[in-house]
Each structure stands twice: as structure tokens, then as C-alpha cells.
């Protein structure tokens, strides 16, 4: 069975600085997708960024980028120029490529606080 682990329950960053959130996963599959979702307090979860495992190039979305290390089964999220609005719970999630249902397997989450 696939598992996703986020070993940092809480992280803190100064506004305008850079922070990296860690995620590791375990799978025997060769093709899959990885996601980072953001869940602000009392608000709904939104997709931040996604990565296809067959792509060697790391995904980027504006200030958000990932460091995908397939051999190490590591998928970290880097947030550059942190803003107050980035404060939220961040969840790493896995989806198998051949999983017809497309269900997501989530990590435990990392709570990010941004200090002004």
C-alpha cells in the first residue's frame, strides 16, 4: 500500500523569505502523480502544484516549485517570497497512475505560519 509522510508538523517563515516543506512517499508503482494542496484556516482545500512522475523536470507555479527526487521518493515544496496569505496547512498527496478511481492518499500535513 502507498503511504505519504510529512515529517514537519509545523513550519514558520518570515514574510518575503523562502521555506521548504518536506514530503516522502512509499510506492511500488513506477508511474504516479504527486500533489501539494493548501488548506487555509476554515477554508477549502485548493491545489497548489502537481507533478507527473514520468516528467523529470520539476513543476513550478509562480512562487511555488517542487524538488522531485524519484529515486529517493521525495517531493518537497519550495515557497519563495512568502506572503501572509501563504499561511495554511499544506498537504502532500499521491495518486497512482493506474488507479482508475483516482483516489488521493494524503500525508499528515504541515502547518505553515508566516511572520510579518
Partner 1 sequence: DTGVSQDPRHKITKRGQNVTFRCDPISEHNRLYWYRQTLGQGPEFLTYFQNEAQLEKSRLLSDRFSAERPKGSFSTLEIQRTEQGDSAMYLCASSRSGLPTDTQYFGPGTRLTVL
- What is the DSSP secondary structure assignment for residue 26, as one 8-state letter? E
3-state SS track over 10-25: EEEEECCCCEEECCEE
Residues numbered 60 to 99 that lie near partner 1 (CB under 8 A) are 91, 93, 95
As measured in angstroms, the least distance from the Cβ of 76 to partner 1 is: 17
Q: Name, in order, each residue with C-beta under 8 angstroms of 108's C-beta and a sequence gap of 6 or more.
A: 5, 6, 9
Return left, alpha or beta for 49; rule: phi > 0 is left, psi -120 to 50 is alpha, else beta: beta
- Minimum distance, C-beta of residue 116 to partner 1, in the bound complex (Å): 25
Number of residues that bind partner 1 (CB under 8 A): 24
Instruction: Say whether residue 107 binds partner 1 (CB under 8 A).
Output: yes
Name which position in 8, 24, 70, 106 contacts partner 1 (CB under 8 A): 106
Q: Residue from 28, 41, 43, 116 that binds partner 1 (CB under 8 A)? A: 43
Amino acid at each position: 500500500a502507498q503511504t505519504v509522510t510529512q515529517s514537519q508538523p509545523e513550519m514558520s517563515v518570515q514574510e518575503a523569505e523562502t521555506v521548504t516543506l518536506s514530503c516522502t512517499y512509499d510506492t511500488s508503482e513506477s508511474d504516479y502523480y504527486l500533489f501539494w494542496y493548501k488548506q487555509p484556516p476554515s477554508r477549502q482545500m485548493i491545489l497548489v502544484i502537481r507533478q507527473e512522475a514520468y516528467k523529470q523536470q520539476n513543476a513550478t507555479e509562480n512562487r511555488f516549485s517542487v524538488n522531485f527526487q524519484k529515486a529517493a521518493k521525495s517531493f518537497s515544496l519550495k515557497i519563495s517570497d512568502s506572503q501572509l496569505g501563504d499561511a495554511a496547512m499544506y498537504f502532500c498527496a499521491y495518486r497512482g497512475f493506474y488507479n482508475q478511481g483516482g483516489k488521493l492518499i494524503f500525508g499528515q500535513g504541515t502547518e505553515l505560519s508566516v511572520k510579518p
